C-alpha cells in the first residue's frame, strides 16, 4: 500500500472543499500574491491548532490542504499576478 493509492480519493474530497470555500470566499485568493504567504500560512495554521487545543475544534485538514494548494499555485503560476 502506498500513500498515492489514496490520491484520487483525497483530490476528490479536496475539490469539494475548494468548491465550498469558493461559495464563501469567491476568488479572494487571487487578490494576494506570493509575498508573505508563508507568514499567512503559519498564522492560519496556528489559529486552527489553537482552536483545537483551546476548544477541541477538529483540525480542518482539507481546509489546510486547500491553503497549501493555493500557495503552490502562487509559487508555480506567477503569471496569474502579472499586470
For residues 20 and 43, give the distance between their C-alpha atoms in angstroms, rounded to a whole number: 22
Residue 82: the pLDDT is: 84
Q: Give Cα separations from 74 to 19, 33, 57 (angstroms).
A: 18, 7, 29
Question: What percent of the chain is predicted at pLDDT more than 90?
Answer: 95
Across the chain, what does the average pLDDT equal? 96
In the prediction, which pLDDT does 48 show? 97
Confidence of residue 69 (pLDDT cuts 50, 70, 90): very high
pLDDT mean over 66-72? 97
What would the mean pLDDT of 60-81 be, rounded to a whole number?
96
pLDDT at 83 over 80: no
Lookup: cell for 68: 497549501
Amino acid at each position: 500500500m502506498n500513500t498515492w493509492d489514496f490520491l484520487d480519493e483525497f483530490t476528490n474530497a479536496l475539490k469539494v472543499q475548494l468548491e465550498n470555500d469558493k461559495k464563501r470566499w469567491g476568488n479572494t485568493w487571487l487578490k494576494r500574491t506570493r509575498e508573505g504567504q508563508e507568514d499567512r500560512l503559519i498564522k492560519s495554521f496556528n489559529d486552527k491548532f489553537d482552536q483545537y487545543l483551546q476548544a477541541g475544534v477538529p483540525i480542518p485538514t482539507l481546509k489546510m490542504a486547500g491553503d497549501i494548494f493555493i500557495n503552490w499555485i502562487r509559487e508555480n503560476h506567477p503569471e496569474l499576478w502579472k499586470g
